[in-house]
Amino acid sequence: MFNPDILNQLHNLLGDEGLRTDAASLQTYGRDWTKIYEPAPSAIALPHSTGQVQAIVQLANQAGFKIVPSGGRTGLSGGAVAAQGELVVSLERMNKIIEFNAQDRSITCEAGVITAQIQQYAAEQNLFYPVDFASAGSSQIGGNIATNAGGIKVIRYGLTRQQVLGLELVTGKAELLKLNHGLVKNATGYDLRHLFIGSEGTLGIITQATLQLIRAPENLTVLVLGVPEFAALMQVLTRFQASLDLSAFEFFSDRALHYVVHDKGLPKPFDTPTPYYALLEFENDSAGREQAALQAFQDCLEQGIILDGVMSQHQTQAKALWRLREMISETISVYTPYKNDLSVRVSQVAEFLQAVDQIVAERYAAFEVIWYGHIGDGNLHLNILKPAHMEKAEFFEHCTAVNEQVFALTKSLNGSISAEHGVGLLKRDYLPYSRSPEEIAYMRALKALFDPNQILNPGKLLN
Ligand code: MLT
Ligand code: ZN
């Protein structure tokens, strides 16, 4: 815990409103959705300005305490966990939308703005913020940028990185950096903005961002298709992509569907039982596009690569179909899943799924396995559920022992052991499966450059 002198200095800086040390706050702000790690922060700082963030980082450098930058704490890799007596710096009070520029189609906001608020604000301007995922109602834009959040629309619009036109941040040396200033084009050398995107709070604390908004898509239409086997999934993708620009291509297994149907009471998409489901979304803005979708549907049925399917007829139905996919993570979270977040190139997904399936059959024979993911962009979420009778520690030990095989397979295909959830604490020791020793050495050098006293998010990403 902090000595009274540090607490006094923080209090002088932040006032009553901006500093918390009560047990409930330490519990709440010290953890993310990973839930594996026991939170143990020393205090919670809630700055309301970039100046205050700078002053906190300055003080940390002088006094020698560590900081865990904190957004909506919806992460799944322990990136926002404070388990070592750190100061959590929550950006939640910095939640203002500062500027909207209609001509640039951009929005500038503070880091603590909730993702769904940005989506909502964009919609009010008849525009669209395309980064979306189930936790959009709680996650904050600063955290999204720090983890380069992905989600369900990556296949069409890319990751958070693609939307960031400018960044304001405080480095580990307490310097203020304003990067790229909202420019679309800027060929003046190293683009530091991109270094901070996805850096998981290890190089700086993001305080403001300028984001690109885009044309709002019209009449998004959703198909849920029943697929007989893994091998058919990517064939379905190829057939649909031959005539449509998809804005999503997700998949989930019948066990995943079982949980959202039984635990959440969601209606099944259709009665035909199928082992896998694909969820596709496209912009249905002309009769031609709908015709193309129906033709692809028909072709897939004839080829036997789908067994049944449904297409939304209105927005309420489209939303209801989306819930079948979006509710999976939250629904299974009560069964203490061991989560894998893997990716390979799209062209290798079919081969990868087959090989992962073999490992699963051998090593997880006695466990329930839930498959889902954004496989249209190569991202597989493989979740193993803890048997009710097994102790958490024993369960995680077993799953960790399988990591080596899954990650070695991923490495053999030059894939990623963390496609979108980040490295944090959970994947840190496995980084060499996806990054070469030379890359890791450069990453360490960058850490030393921007945060020489190792103040920011210690132990995350790099050890
Ligand atoms: C999802 O795709 O649902 C999220 O990444 C969360 C998860 O993997 O559980
Ligand atoms: Zn995901």
Residue type, 136: A
Q: Whole-angstrom Cα distance, residue 76 to residue 35?
A: 8
Residue in the block written with tokens 């003080």: 59
Q: Whole-angstrom Cα distance, residue 298 to residue 296?
A: 5
Q: How many CB atoms lie within 10 A of CB 242?
A: 10
β-strand partners of 70: 90
Q: Is the CB of 329 under 6 A from ligand 1?
A: yes
Burial of 40 (0-12, 13-18, 19+ CB in 10 A): middle
Mean pLDDT of 394-422: 96
Confidence check: pLDDT of 35 > 90: no
Q: What are the φ and ψ backbone dihedral angles of 369, each rounded to 5 degrees?
A: -115, 130
- pLDDT the model gives residue 200: 98
H helices within 15-140, ranges in order? 23-29, 50-63, 115-124
Residue type, 252: F
Q: Whole-angstrom Cα distance, residue 87 to residue 406?
A: 35
Q: Whole-angstrom Cα distance, residue 24 to residue 17?
A: 16
Q: What are the φ and ψ backbone dihedral angles of 182, each rounded to 5 degrees?
A: 80, 10
Structure tokens at 114: 């909730």
Q: Is the CB of 325 under 6 A from ligand 1?
A: no
Structure tokens at 452: 């020489």
Assessment of whether the complete model's pTM goes beyond 0.75: yes
Res. 427 pLDDT band, cuts 50 70 90: very high
What 3-state class would DSSP assign to 272? coil
The residue whose C-alpha atom lies closest to atom 4 belonging to ligand 1 is: 329
Q: Whole-angstrom Cα distance, residue 184 to residue 193?
A: 13
Whole-number CA gyration radius for the chain? 23
Confidence check: pLDDT of 291 > 90: yes
Q: Residue 49: left if φ>0, alpha if ψ -120 to 50, beta else—which one?
A: beta
Mean pLDDT of 83-112: 98
Q: What are the φ and ψ backbone dihedral angles of 71, each rounded to 5 degrees?
A: -105, -120
Q: Whole-angstrom Cα distance, residue 392 to residue 334?
A: 12
- pLDDT the model gives residue 311: 98
- pLDDT the model gives residue 406: 97
Q: Whole-angstrom Cα distance, residue 166 to residue 208?
A: 8
Q: How many CB atoms lie within 10 A of CB 159?
A: 21
Q: Is the CB of 87 under 6 A from ligand 1?
A: no
- pLDDT the model gives residue 198: 98
Using alpha carbons only, give the angle 94, 100, 102 rounded to the nearest 5 degrees. Answer: 165
Pocket probe mutation, ligand 1, options 329, 370, 377, 427, max atoms within 8 Å of Cβ: 329
Mean pLDDT of 420-447: 98
What 3-state class would DSSP assign to 206? strand
CB of 176 within 8 A of CB of 168? yes
Residue 447 Cα to ligand 2 middle (Å): 27
Confidence check: pLDDT of 399 > 90: yes
Q: Residue 222: left if φ>0, alpha if ψ -120 to 50, beta else—which one?
A: beta
Mean pLDDT of 53-77: 98
Confidence check: pLDDT of 1 > 90: no
Nearest to 278 by CA among 263, 300, 295: 300
The residue whose C-alpha atom lies closest to atom 2 belonging to ligand 1 is: 373
Q: Whole-angstrom Cα distance, residue 360 to residue 362?
A: 5
Residue 179 Cα to ligand 1 middle (Å): 30
Pairing of strands 164-171, 176-179: antiparallel
Q: Is the CB of 134 under 6 A from ligand 1?
A: yes
| Closest approach atom of ligand 1 to CA 150 | 5
Mean pLDDT of 118-141: 98
- pLDDT the model gives residue 405: 97
Per-residue pLDDT tens over the stretch 235-253: 999 999 999 999 999 999 9
Confidence check: pLDDT of 137 > 90: yes
- pLDDT the model gives residue 246: 98
Q: Whole-angstrom Cα distance, residue 305 to residue 285?
A: 26
- pLDDT the model gives residue 299: 98
Mean pLDDT of 143-160: 98
Instruction: Give percent of the chain above pLDDT 70.
Output: 100
CB of 149 within 8 A of CB of 139? yes
- pLDDT the model gives residue 47: 98
Q: Whole-angstrom Cα distance, residue 188 to residue 66?
A: 34
Confidence check: pLDDT of 396 > 90: yes
- pLDDT the model gives residue 349: 97
Residue 80 Cα to ligand 2 middle (Å): 18
Res. 139 pLDDT band, cuts 50 70 90: very high
Structure tokens at 370: 């839930």
Per-residue pLDDT tens over the stretch 295-349: 999 999 999 999 999 999 999 999 999 999 999 999 999 999 999 999 999 999 9
Question: How many Å separate Cα 46 from the centre of its chain?
Answer: 23
